[in-house]
Structure 1
Amino acid sequence: MKKLLLPLLAVVALVACNDDNVNNQEINYSNLPQEFPFSTLMTLNGVNVINGGFGSGATAHPTRKGEFYVITDRGPNVAYSNGIKILVPNFTPTIMHFKINADGNIEVLKYIKLKNPSGQLITGLPNPAGMGSTGETAYAADGSVLGTDNYGLDSESIVAAADGTFWVSDEYGPHIVHYSADGVEMERVSPIGVNTGARKLPAVFAKRRPNRGMEGMCMTPDGKMLVGTMQSTMYVPTKALATNTTLTRIVTFDLATGQTKQYLYKQDGGASDSVCDITPISNTEFLVIERDGNFGSVGGLKKVYRINLSNASDVSGTDLTAVDGMKINGKTLEQSTWDEINTAGLKPVTKTLAVDLVAKLGYEHDKFEGIVYLGNNKLAIFNDDDFGVADDGNGNPKTKILPKTGKQDKGTMYIVDIQ
């Protein structure tokens, strides 16, 4: 037994040493910004749809410095009629695992396609009623109506856990889905009333705006809590009555107990602007994206803020099954002004500007939806290229062109110093 044990311990020690070397080595980011390697997914009416979309969310490998995961959303799409044209109906939301190699270049290690609990590939098609439906109708490129997918996901953020599994949030349910290392669904956490599992999010989150669900999510460094950001003001109690368009919500989910808390976030912009990805600095301090939909090179809003939950009020209320959540003098939070909220003694999260990407980098893209804090006030930035296509205004795709360079938009990784 001793003869067998000694080599085994040597192997374990060697692996541990190798991991330490990886964790302690300096990563060469000198070649960034750099585009991800892409092929053509399809050509539609002369429009080149690239196999991109990586950058809807991003996370670092939990133990290996210089390695990252990025995720696509539901696939190439454009607005159409009362819903959305899904240009590739069988597209599967996908995770890309890559590293920055010794030469400072992006090297793809693996693609992980998301699957339902039976191990079958999912799609980005909307969920049916009762399973997280947003009310959107999905159409094919030719305008014919498509079906739904019980396990479909419009994925927007990703967390890589220390055990090798992934947590992904989306814009349907909104769902928080736990996937195995191979991308097989293990658990789906959704608002109360959505028939997807035992553990739930508060009922109020089912009133997210279509296509503006849980845009960002991260895990606290202690591995105990998920923290999710809603993209915009939710329709609570209704679209017409949700008048505070600078108010959005942050939700925390205790991984051990399933307990949730809610916090208010005050946007600088308005109803058309977005709160996107979130990345942790500590267990209470985070970096959050705020952006508009304009290209940065024509004066777009592309900022990252430091926020802190420490002194913010938990606005969960006493009844998590209440579809309108906590109220102030009979009005929902989304109906209340910030003066009314302050008078009620409720404090939003604190925020200070960390970086303005347009001022700092001359950032050209219309979107940046993935951020990863690297420590030492350095931040990795990832844009969502929308598979290189944009909406032509008539329900058809056109090539998404960057106005400054005249090139097709492609997913790119940047490194920036923050305050």
Structure 2
Amino acid sequence: MPACLVAAVLAAFGMAITRVDAAEMQPSEHANVMGVARYVLQIPPAEYLAYSGRFGDKFPQGLPPSYGSGLRFQDYGKDASLNFLAVTDRGPNTDAPLIKAGEKVLASKVFLTPDFAPRVGFINVQRTGSAKLVSSIALKQNGKAISGRPTGPGSSGFSGEIPLGDDLKPLRFDSLGLDPEGIDFDKAGNLWISDEYGPFIAKVNSQSGEVTQRYSPGMGLPEILAQRQPNRGFEGIAVTPGGKVVAIMQSTLDINNETKGTAQFLRIVTLDPKSGATQMFAYPHDGPVYKKKGNAKIGDLVAIDETHFLLIEQGKARNKQLRNVVYLVDISAAQDLTGLTLANGKALEYGYANDLALVKNSDAIATNVSAGLRMARKIPLFDLRELGWKPEKSEGLAIVGKAGKLAEANELAVISDNDFGVKARMNGVEDDPEAYFVDKEGVLLDSKVRLTDVKFQIGPGSEPATQLWIIQLRKPLKDFFAVN
């Protein structure tokens, strides 16, 4: 039976199409992409999150977990299938009304399952079949399950958000809270997870899910990273063949709340777990593309070798169109930012193009860099939108290939993040929850007036189920950076 007829029959009976056959996907005409195999990640019912809260009737089967915050290729199965590691973020949460506390107005998030522990998932992809979540483990620390709730005020992980339950009443903060956004593993089998709260880097036992070590700004990581935008810490993490751990900030740093919209670059951080040594490098985002430079976001990061990486840069462009661009990044000639400032002593994030030609090292010696600050070099490979990508966010990226030989690989994998398939709405004139206020008792307000006819609602979101794509390039990765 022709593939198109099979698809039509399945659709007629309401059956999910989990893979688009090669005959139907029409091999790409993109200069760098040969073709794409598209899957919808299948989640076993036992992996759904039990939810019997205020909006439980909207989710009779429970909440579908979202394993799209990070992706890494593990190995080939004996049947030539593909095995991946994936990770959830902090759990099912939604936008919420602003908190009215006296004269202060605070941001908030509703956590539908407040005790949810972020999880690592193991995914198997049958090339001619489906992509399935096989199993998962929950993260814990000191033998105790952690949650995705933010750490409290005054901590490096405080996101500036007040956690609320589905009744809009405040929840407890979690001093061990994590919001995972990337995953990789080292030769010893340890998992390395990046977090966008702290930002933190967590070393994790792959068998138990136990966090065995946590790095944070000033505690193993450069202190300047604490100046991240709220909840935009580390977005991607990669382990190089030599064992270095490399992480990248999701967005520009916001030094003294002044630079998020003007900074010319995002920071890449390298950590040597053996010596504790760190370095930082500048990744130049596509500034002119965005209305504000702070709109540039990273999706994920994966190492090819010690100095070459792939990453996803994404966000809404100036023309209001979404973009999800995969770049090849080379830091071999990039300048270590450690101890560098502008000539006036300010952080490099304050500098515009001309300013970055003059930097000062930690010994207060001004150094004129004729070509400006040496940032990472980047080469665009493709925009997922050009290949038919529909989800808003692509937050997992992996190279499919043999360990130690990833430069010879010509296949990539990308996974989407659908935020657990939930979305909040208001039934008032404005449907955006952030257009309203709520007090500490969970009572909705419009400015100072109590509302009785407006309700906060949560239901299924419009984002599609988790997408996982296998993308075949026209040539090995090494050939892209060899000729550029």
Structure 1 distance, partners of 2:58, 2:187, is 40
Matched with 1:110 is 135
Q: Does 1:249 align with 2:306?
A: no
Q: Does 1:259 align with 2:277?
A: yes
Query: Looking at CA atoms only, which structure, 1 or 2, has the larger radius of gyration?
Result: 2
Structure 1, residues 209-258: CA drift from partner, whole Å, max 9, x if none? 11211011111123x2011010111111x113455244211100012111
1:18-417 superposed matches below 5 A: 32-38=37-43, 39=45, 40-41=48-49, 42=51, 44=55, 47-48=58-59, 50-61=63-74, 66-80=82-96, 81=98, 82-101=107-126, 103-117=128-142, 119-128=143-152, 129-130=154-155, 132-181=157-206, 182-192=208-218, 200-222=220-242, 224-236=243-255, 238-268=256-286, 269=290, 270-292=293-315, 299-317=321-339, 326-344=341-359, 345=369, 346-359=373-386, 361-375=387-401, 376-392=409-425, 393-394=432-433, 396-402=457-463, 409-417=464-472
Q: What secondary structure is seen at the aligned counterpart in 1 of 2:354?
A: helix
Structure 1, residues 186-218: CA drift from partner, whole Å, max 9, x if none? 0001111xxxxxx51010011111121101111
AA matched with 1:69: L
Shift of 1:111: 0.6
Structure 1 distance, partners of 2:261, 2:467, is 36
Q: What secondary structure is seen at the aligned counterpart in 2 of 1:215?
A: strand
AA matched with 2:246: V
Unmatched 5+ stretches in structure 2:
1-18, 23-36, 99-106, 360-368, 402-408, 426-431, 435-456, 474-479
Q: What secondary structure is seen at the aligned counterpart in 2 of 1:248?
A: strand
* Range with greater deviation from structure 2 (124-133 or 154-163): 124-133
Structure 2 distance, partners of 1:288, 1:339, is 27
Unmatched 5+ stretches in structure 1:
1-27, 193-198, 318-324, 403-408
AA matched with 2:348: L
Structure 2 distance, partners of 1:135, 1:283, is 35
Structure 1 distance, partners of 2:144, 2:181, is 21
Q: What secondary structure is seen at the aligned counterpart in 1 of 2:237?
A: strand
Matched with 1:11 is none
AA matched with 2:416: N
Shift of 1:293: 5.2
The 8 Å contact of residues 218 and 280 in structure 1, kept in 2 or not, is answered as: yes
RMSD: 2.5
The 8 Å contact of residues 185 and 192 in structure 2, kept in 1 or not, is answered as: yes
Shift of 1:29: 10
AA matched with 1:98: I
The 8 Å contact of residues 229 and 260 in structure 2, kept in 1 or not, is answered as: no
**Percent sequence identity over matched residues?**
30
Give the 3 Å change call, closer, same or farther, for CA 387–242 of structure 1 in structure 2.
Answer: closer
The 8 Å contact of residues 253 and 259 in structure 2, kept in 1 or not, is answered as: no
Matched with 2:362 is none
Shift of 1:262: 0.4
Shift of 1:120: 1.7
Q: What secondary structure is seen at the aligned counterpart in 2 of 1:331?
A: coil
Structure 1, residues 64-94: CA drift from partner, whole Å, max 9, x if none? 6721111000011122212211121011100
Structure 2 distance, partners of 1:280, 1:62, is 15
Shift of 1:63: 7.7
Structure-2-length-normalised TM-score: 0.71
Matched with 1:321 is none
Give the 3 Å change call, closer, same or farther, for CA 302–47 of structure 1 in structure 2.
Answer: farther
Structure 2 distance, partners of 1:412, 1:210, is 27
Structure 1, residues 391-410: CA drift from partner, whole Å, max 9, x if none? 432155343225xxxxxx21
Q: What secondary structure is seen at the aligned counterpart in 2 of 1:50?
A: coil
AA matched with 2:282: L
The 8 Å contact of residues 83 and 125 in structure 2, kept in 1 or not, is answered as: yes
AA matched with 1:230: M
Structure-1-length-normalised TM-score: 0.81
Give the 3 Å change call, closer, same or farther, for CA 267–183 of structure 1 in structure 2.
Answer: same
Structure 2 distance, partners of 1:191, 1:116, is 19
Shift of 1:159: 1.0
The 8 Å contact of residues 242 and 335 in structure 1, kept in 2 or not, is answered as: no
Q: What secondary structure is seen at the aligned counterpart in 2 of 1:36?
A: strand
The 8 Å contact of residues 293 and 366 in structure 1, kept in 2 or not, is answered as: no
Structure 2 distance, partners of 1:30, 1:305, is 27
Matched with 1:22 is none
The 8 Å contact of residues 208 and 235 in structure 1, kept in 2 or not, is answered as: yes
Structure 1, residues 80-139: CA drift from partner, whole Å, max 9, x if none? 21221112101110011122247542243321100112x221110111333622332111
Q: What secondary structure is seen at the aligned counterpart in 1 of 2:399?
A: strand
Shift of 1:271: 1.3
Structure 1 distance, partners of 2:285, 2:423, is 26
Structure 2 distance, partners of 1:250, 1:104, is 37
